[in-house]
Chains A and B, each alone.
Chain A
Amino acid sequence: MNLVYKALGHRLFWPLAMLVVLLAVNVIAVPGFLSITVNSEGHLFGSLIDIVRNGAPTLIIAVGMTLVIATRGIDLSVGSMCAIAGALACSIILASPTPNDVGTVTVAVLLSLALALVLGVWNGFLVAVLGIQPIIATLILMTAGRGIAMLITEGQILTVNSAPFKFIGSGFLAGIPVATIVAAVVLALVALLTRRTALGMLIESVGINPEASRQAGVRARGLLFTVYALSAVLAAVAGLILTSNQTAADSNNTGWLIELDAILAVVLGGTSLNGGRYSLTGTLVGALVIQTLITTVYTVGIPPIATMVFKAAVVVAVTLLQSSRVSSALARRRSRGRRAETVGSAAEAVAR
């Protein structure tokens, strides 16, 4: 019984429970849902693979977002960053005489990432040096960013026909989708970098109490620059995957509202928007919940028009269950049994 309560108290319990429920619903609707097969080209194939492939962009952005949120910030500009990166890469590839050359695509990718880095540093500058609230600071690029992307593409939807570029979004490496590998590498690298060094703790300290951490000698400015730059670069990576998947750069729609999904993934994973402690594992679970949710809509046959309502219901359910009020109610129930014992023995003691 105690073990059950302990599990209930874990902050990842409800998101994981939701994930299991969603998967169970899928299995009931489609019995072969969990099966993974290898198709004729040697690629892994199945609904679960679809989830980890299509969920990759959100996860990649959410990893960067986790660190930003841990510093008590938020990055609203990631969706626009996706569009900018996609627009720049596609226009470079289109302008080059050799669109199918790996070198061309590498240059395009590197330049897009470099541009994102510059824009991320800009966000960091606004937050760290000018001291502007993160939500406003990144709102600027969120609004202007799509304009910049349209400026790059001159308002057109750029369709590219480049095999190496297509590989990023829809290719397979050793049977595993490239997008998934990229997401896994990003997650592993960030986890290693922040959890095997003091970096993660420093980021948390800035989020918990900026003033105290400054007095303790933590250089918040550099850390803020780093997290916003990282967030922007990761958003660009996700943008390239999305663009490559569609084989077209659409400044209006690439990464539209992905910032909200990413923030949602972070929050579902138990990281508070008030900054401080963060959990990359939680973010992974959150991103998987969101993508499984979308998949469930299709497999179960919920009409696509009801997707948003379904999503709202799941978000409300998980956040309510995670809320401090519900968890303290659970804690009370947990201690009730124990308290009855204590009261009993106390009464005995008094009687004696």
Chain B
Amino acid sequence: MSAVSVPTSGVGRLWSRTVDVFTSPKSGPVLVTAVLFVVMFLAGGARYRGFLSATTILNLMVSYSYLIVLAVGMSFVIISGGIDLSVGSVLALSTIIAARLLQFGWNPIVVILLILVITSVLGLLVGLMVHVFEIQPFIATLAAMFLARGMCYIIAKESISITDPFFSWMAKTRIILGYRMSITPSVVIALVVLAIAVWVLQYTRFGRTTYAIGGGEQSGMLMGLPTSRTKVLVYVISGFCSGLAGVLYAFYTLSGYALTGVGTELDAIAAVVIGGTLLTGGYGFVLGSALGVLVLGLIQTMITFEGTLSSWWTKIFIGALLLVFIILQKVLTSRRA
């Protein structure tokens, strides 16, 4: 648009610049999400008393810190052009390993490290299946999903509560930020993971290679990028993030249960898509995925505030919102072309 006619007035130039940023396939969808988040937040504030406050946002982060971590891992995989269906089951596996081992009286730090190693190795196996045997990510991670869920049942069918002092401390500690504003340590962990992910994706060779694989693996390889290593590593990262998300979830619920996180992979994928990452890979921001998580959480919160709406409306709303987003992304990015 701006290339055809260059407006002379300052306002015109600003307008064309804005249009440009919003319609770019790279940043447009994220900005649309950000605008929608603000609009939803304001609309909620206009409708419900006590909604429009920092507390609402902080509570969202406390409740969904695990989903932010999951979405970070998923973003890596999706930017590289793959998909990971196993994250929900791996999350459950991680909660149940934590609960069982803590029940045996293991040291909590050792347990957490062990979980992160196990889930990373699981991710490594998936990565190798995808890379070496050229099995489609959908199928490879589907097998991992079955495997992780199956191992959950083998470890324990029933829910195990966690009484370990360290885990309880993590669950109960509140970091006070101001009047009636506080977060849990889990939020800090999630934000640190997010910050590292942003740095890795934007400023490291590994991050650029991830985008390159999603954009076109063949071209990436011809440019001499270490595509094979990177392709395996994104699944390791996703496995690691799922494990960490499971630990955060265990902090949050103080229990381990084989049936937790059923369908969470869809929430994570939805968050990533709402956050503006294309499922074909090559585009996307991990910050957008975190924003996507907050949007999903905000819908849930608004339905709770509404009070009279039944739980099934959540599903319908999330479906409708996904639709709106995808169509918006489509319309905005195609106008440019």
Contact = CB atoms under 8 A, between A and B. Distances in A.
A140 B153 contact: no
B123 to A, nearest CB: 15
B245 interface: no
B316 interface: yes
Contact of B153 (A133, A273, A305): A305
Interface residues of B, number: 43
Contact of B273 (A136, A147, A309, A323): A136
Interface in B291-337: 310-316, 318-320, 322-323, 326-327, 330
B153 A143 contact: no
Interface stretch (A31-39, A159-167, A182-190, A312-320): A312-320
A147 B316 contact: yes
B326 A132 contact: yes
B280 interface: yes
B160 interface: no
Contacts of A307: 150
A32 to B, nearest CB: 29
Contacts of A90: none
B154 to A, nearest CB: 6
Interface stretch (A196-204, A215-223, A236-244, A260-268): A260-268
Nearest to B149: A308
A135 to B, nearest CB: 6
Contact of A316 (B143, B149, B318, B326): B143
Given A143-B266, A151-B312, A326-B133, A308 B139 contact: no
Contacts of A155: 310-312
Interface residue range, chain A: 35 or more
Contacts of A315: 139, 142-143, 146
Nearest to B152: A308
Given A132-B330, A312-B143, A140 B322 contact: yes
A319 B139 contact: yes
A131 B330 contact: yes
Q: Which of B83, B139, B273, B315 has the most CB of A within 10 A?
A: B315
Dominant SS among interface residues on chain A: helix
Given A145-B319, A147-B313, A309-B150, 13 more contacts: A137-B326, A139-B273, A140-B323, A142-B266, A143-B322, A144-B315, A150-B310, A150-B311, A264-B142, A267-B136, A312-B144, A313-B147, A319-B143
Contacts, number: 125
A15 B310 CA distance: 45
Interface in A285-328: 305-313, 315-316, 319-320, 323-326
A217 B333 CA distance: 27
Contacts of A137: 326
A132 B278 CA distance: 10
Nearest to A321: B133
Contacts of B330: 130-132
A141 interface: yes
Interface in B132-163: 132-136, 138-140, 142-144, 146-147, 149-151, 153-154, 157
A324 B132 CA distance: 10
Interface in B52-88: 83, 85
Interface in A309-352: 309-313, 315-316, 319-320, 323-326
